[in-house]
Amino acid sequence: MDSKKLLVITALAIGGGVSGCAVPQLPSQQAEQLTVAKAQREIKIGMTSEQVVEALGSPNMVTTDSQRRETWVYDKVSTNVQYSKSNGGVWLLLFGAGGSAGSLSQNQRTLTIIVKFNSDGRVRDFAYRTSSF
């Protein structure tokens, strides 16, 4: 096999491997994300704990106060990383020519939802906080 054919086969193999790395998010996974809007829309004073679990899922932390009333905390952190790369093209890289440059951008967002229950196990109050840095 000559070197040109070997080079083409190698390029196709690398390209096929790279294109298979991305995993798209399914619509059902997107619907499950915890957001401020979801908390505002779903959580109501007087809801039962079962209804809260159905709306938001299981909490990250459960505490009780001096009167034995539960407080549920939902704490989510997301990191967004963006990498932008510029280069001379795949063929130039395969032949050992060309240059590349890139930049990395990263930010984090937090969402904390606090749900307080009364002694009957119903929502008496809730609050949420967000931050981005």
Name the token pair of 42.
Answer: 């779903």
How many Å apart are CA 25 and CA 22, to the nearest integer? Answer: 10
Give CA separation, 47 vs 57, 67, 71, 121, 128, in Å.
Answer: 14, 19, 14, 8, 17
Can you say whether residue 98 is alpha, beta or left, with left for phi > 0 and alpha for psi between -120 and 50 degrees?
A: left
Model's pTM, two decimal places? Answer: 0.60
DSSP annotation of 95 reads T
pLDDT tens for 5-60 read 554 555 555 555 444 444 444 444 444 688 889 999 999 999 999 999 999 999 99
Q: In which band, very low, low, confident or very high, does the pLDDT at 80 lie, cut at 50, 70 and 90?
A: confident
